[in-house]
Amino acid sequence: MPAVPSLIERYAAHLPVTDRTPRLTLGEGATPLVRARALERETGIPEVWLKVEGQNPTGSFKDRGMVVAVAKALEAGARMVLCASTGNTAASAAAYAARAGLGCAVVLPAGQVAAGKLAQAIAHGARVVAVRGPFDAALAVVRSLAEQGEATLVNSVNPDRLEGQKTAAYEVCEVLGDAPDALFIPVGNAGNITAYWKGFVEATALGLARRRPKMYGYQAEGAAPIVRGSPVAEPETVATAIRVGNPASWKGAVAARDESGGAIDAVSDGEILDAYGFVARCEGVFCEPASAAAIAGLRRRARDGGLRDLRRVVCVLTGNGMKDPERARSLAGAIAEVEATPDAVRRALRS
Ligand code: F0G
């Protein structure tokens, strides 16, 4: 038994689990909520917190929902799970399927998945197929295969996924003693913003929070269907995790926005990469580019004066920066290689 109870055990009363649901776990959830002083100085907001979801077992928030979805699949007697993914869902599905002794198949948009995520899916023994087209095409394929009974679909269209993901909102309320004034979160297939909103609504009903936060979701400019109001056929962004043109939980995201009095906006790739470098260098937290969309959104909204009344905000850093080593490497030029002497190294450090 792990020192901290598993996510399913901790939140069993609020999840669609029964006594028969296997207590599957890799130690997911209970991720750090870290104070972000540099962002507080820059934005003028008294309290900025980072929910560091990259600390989950496979390095992203997906593990919260995946543990529930795979446990329920196991309970139902499934042999195999299936998903489409920009990378993180695939890594998570592959790991939990391996843990549960289930087969796993993942369908990816060809050439658009960060190296670390692909490595994870392969290492955990998933069958990997790449399709020509964006994530949305891959999702359409797996939905059709799942309807034909090939395997249990574990994308966020599976309601068990969102149930597990909502636990992050509970945790935020538990640690802060209330919900924040606003939550900043990247939006791709829109499951996570939908799940957080459900979690905050439930948290107020349960007495874990007195208020509900305004929900601020961020898409990348080249992949911003909700902001534009219509699907994007060929989504494009450096933040490949949120390169989604027709989000499955579109309605959930719009409801979260409207019921909370928040907004869903787009940030440019330049703003995303700037925020990505900033949190790594100034806060010591290394997230992936998609996660940095939330930080980019916070910085932009603060600059525009749209956050004056807010005292406490939380940004969700959805995935670990080590997932995408190539993007990280592009932050610096060539690395000096010198003789192994103190003098040579000192000279190189000073140049
Ligand atoms: N951040 C990261 C790191 C992600 O991997 C994703 C989604 C999101 C944000 C957006 O979350 O889809 O719930 O709105 N990744 C999915 C995947 C699409 O296949 O791994 P969302």
Separation between Cα atoms, residue 270 and residue 295, nearest integer Å: 12
Which of 318, 322, 327 most suits a substitution to test ligand 1, by most atoms within 8 Å of the C-beta?
Answer: 318
Substitution site in 58, 108, 158, 192 for ligand 1 pocket (most atoms within 8 Å of beta carbon): 192
Residues 6+ apart with CB under 8 A from 126: 90, 93, 94, 97, 104, 105, 106
Is residue 349's pLDDT more than 50? Answer: yes
For residues 69 and 105, membership in a common domain is answered with: yes
Report yes or no: 192 and 71 within 8 Å, Cβ to Cβ.
no
Taking the CA of residue 253 as reference, the ligand 1 atom at the shortest distance is 14
Are residues 111 and 170 located together in one domain of the fold? no
What was the pLDDT predicted at 257?
Answer: 98
* All residues at 6 or more sequence positions from 177 whose CB lies less than 8 Å from its CB, including other chains: none
Give the nearest ligand 1 atom to 191 CA.
13
Percent of residues, the chain, with pLDDT higher than 70: 99
Q: Assess if residue 349 is contained within a domain.
A: no
CB count within 10 Å of CB 254 equals 18
Reply yes or no on whether the pLDDT at 195 is more than 50: yes
Cα gap 4→7, rounded to integer Å: 9
Query: pLDDT value at position 253?
Result: 98
Same domain, residue pair 98 and 243: no
Read off the pLDDT of residues 123-142 as tens digits, 9 standing for 90 and up.
Answer: 999 999 999 999 999 999 99
Residues 332-341: pLDDT tens digits? 889 999 999 9
In a domain, 75, yes or no: yes
Q: Are residues 138 and 216 in the same domain?
A: no
153 with 69, same domain: the answer is yes
Same domain, 190 and 220: yes
Q: Which among 124, 157, 190 is the end of a domain?
A: 157
Q: Quote the percentage of the chain above a pLDDT of 90.
A: 95
343 lies in some domain: no
Looking at 157, 172, 204, which one is the last position of a domain? 157
Buried b (16+ CB within 10 A) or exposed e, 14-25: ebebeeebbebb
Residues 67 and 34 in one domain: no
Q: Do 252 and 122 lie in a common domain?
A: no
Give a yes or no: residue 339 inside a domain. no
Residue 38 lies in a domain: yes
User: Considering the domain boundaries, does residue 18 fall inside one?
Assistant: yes
Q: Residues enclosing ligand 1, CB less than 6 A?
A: 60, 62, 85-89, 156, 186-192, 241-242, 244, 288, 290-291, 318-319
The tally of domains found in the chain comes to 2
**Distance (Å) from CA 339 to ligand 1 centroid:** 44
Pick the closest to residue 294 from 178, 157, 187 (CA basis): 187
Q: What is the DSSP string of 138-199?
A: HHHHHHHHHHTTSSEE-STTSHHHHHHHTHHHHHHHHHHSS--SEEEEE-SSSHHHHHHHHH
- Ligand 1 mean position to 242 CA, how many Å? 6
For residue 331, name the pLDDT band (cuts at 50, 70, 90).
Answer: confident
The DSSP string of 20-89 is TS----SS-----EEE-HHHHHHH--SEEEEEEGGGSTTSBTHHHHHHHHHHHHHHTT-SEEEEE-SSHH
Ligand 1, atom 10, lies closest to the CA of: 188
Question: Is the domain of 104 the same as that of 193?
Answer: no
CATH number assigned to the domain comprising residue 90: 3.40.50.1100
- Compute the average pLDDT of residues 163-191: 98
pLDDT at residue number 211: 97
Task: Assess contact for 136 and 246: CB atoms under 8 A.
Answer: yes
pTM (global) more than 0.75: yes
User: Looking at ligand 1, which atom is closest to the CA of residue 319?
Assistant: 3
User: Tens digits of per-residue pLDDT, 254-290?
Assistant: 999 999 999 999 999 999 999 999 999 999 999 999 9
248: domain range?
Answer: 7-60+161-330
Write out pLDDT tens, residues 221-241. 999 999 999 999 999 999 999
Mean pLDDT for all residues in the chain: 97
Q: Are residues 52 and 66 in the same domain?
A: no
193, 318: one domain: yes
Residue 148 lies in a domain: yes
Pocket test for ligand 1, best of 86, 141, 161, 187 (most atoms within 8 A of CB): 86
Q: Could you tell me if 252 and 288 lie in one domain? A: yes
Does the residue 141 lie in any domain?
yes
Q: For residue 253, report the distance from its CA to the centre of ligand 1, in Å.
A: 13
* Residue ID of nearest Cα to ligand 1 atom 6: 241
